[in-house]
Structure 1
Amino acid sequence: MKFIPICFLISLLVLFNTKPLQGAEPEPVVDKQGNPLQPGESYYVFPLWADNGGITLGHTRNKTCPLDVIRNPDAIGSPVTFSASGLDYIPTLTDLTIEIPILGTPCNEPKIWKLSKVGSGFWFVSTGGVAGDLVSKFKIERLAGEHAYEIYSFKFCPSVPGVLCAPIGTFEDADGTKVMAVGDGIEDPYYVRFQKVSTFVQKKNQDLSSM
């Protein structure tokens, strides 16, 4: 019988005692400077092609409450916050609570995102959500490719079997407002980058012509 070195046996024990069910931690979402997004911090959500024209809240549909999540190409946008249960950073492809904590609006509902049905097979990203509710679970997905490290999109795709899973794009309503939406006719995701509010310096006479 051949002698098996004790170091080899120890290596096998280490190998087979590894816990395979504990997968790697989710990849962090990073801002334009390459820093992981932090829970509770405020970020601008800019379109891929500009440093302005970000996401904010506005009246759509019948111009009543609740407010919906829109794109405003004529303004910087509103700070957005994120939280992920049990994590001290914001990961990709993980259920998130997303909020645009604007104060002093005519609508008193919470500014947490939720999916709000507008018609058959069509939903707006709206407000009035509750952290942990199924309709308030959103994900951030990174664009594939080595040159797309800081480019992301939003999805409504709760980690629950049999629930709607679809990219969030934009829908232009009758008065030209671009509303974040999911459903029929919304095929392409809306690609964005994140900028920490405390590190952003707006350029003077910023050109909005590309939007």
Structure 2
Amino acid sequence: MKLIETLSFMLLAMAVAVTAQNPVLDTSGEPLRRGAEYYIKPAITDNGGRFTLIDRNGSCPFYVGQENSSAAKGLPVTFEPFFKEENIVRERRDFKVSFAAVTVCVQSTTWQLDGELISTGDDGAGFNNYFHISPGQVESTYFMGWCPQDPCLPADCSWFRCGQVGAIVENGKRLLVWDGNPAIPVVFERA
């Protein structure tokens, strides 16, 4: 009986935790929704362009980066919150993010942590695909980061070194990096 009560309490606590966080808002003030397409772009216009796939070295996988110009269109992404019943992307909650695009690489366009860089691919089992969004200092701006929490329940993820997404320039290409300094403040525009 105690086991059933404990499990019921844990499920209720998880449900309350999911709904307790503020929704992430797009540039129209609407919450980001599971499966809807959005462009991610820097909140500061001289900080590169919209997010896109980058061919880093002429082979797969593709990497996540930015267009060099703020005028370039970039590629839209979709979000998949960790909790299957959640249809809204919430601040500080884990989700997968994928480009809504087809590539010559026969693999997923889901973002994953790949050392310090962010590449594409989905092993389906690990923590490397879960990102989160935290509020920026300016209203309706956000920072993206990597610090899995939701996939860790009930495991302990305190050993992870968390970080925010920034960019580096490599051979004229703007690549997104984990624990980038400085982090890139972003906004989300419905595609």
TM-score by length of 2: 0.80
| 1:5 corresponding residue in structure 2 | none
* Residue aligned with 2:108, SS: coil
Written as runs of structure 1 = structure 2, the 5 A alignment for 1:28-177 is 28-50=23-45, 53-60=49-56, 62-74=57-69, 75-84=72-81, 85=83, 86-103=85-102, 105-117=103-115, 123-131=116-124, 133-144=126-137, 148-159=138-149, 160-173=157-170, 175-177=171-173
Amino acid at match of 1:127: T
Residue-by-residue CA offset, 1:76-113 (whole Å, 9 max, x unaligned): 1101110112312000101111000211x221110000
Task: List structure 1 segments (4+ residues) > 6 angstroms apart after TM superposition.
Answer: none
* Residue aligned with 2:128, SS: helix
For 1:53 and 1:76, locate their aligned partners in 2 and report how far apart those are by CA, in whole Å. Answer: 8
Identity %: 26
For 1:155 and 1:81, locate their aligned partners in 2 and report how far apart those are by CA, in whole Å. Answer: 16
For 2:190 and 2:45, locate their aligned partners in 1 and report how far apart those are by CA, in whole Å. Answer: 15
For 2:52 and 2:32, locate their aligned partners in 1 and report how far apart those are by CA, in whole Å. Answer: 19
Question: Structure 2 regions of 5+ residues with no counterpart?
Answer: 1-12, 150-156
Question: Structure 1 regions of 5+ residues with no counterpart?
Answer: 1-20, 118-122, 198-211
Amino acid at match of 1:55: F
Give the greater-gyration-radius structure (CA): 1
Quote how far apart the aligned CAs of 1:176 are.
1.2
Quote how far apart the aligned CAs of 1:129 are.
1.9
1:181 paired to 2:177: yes
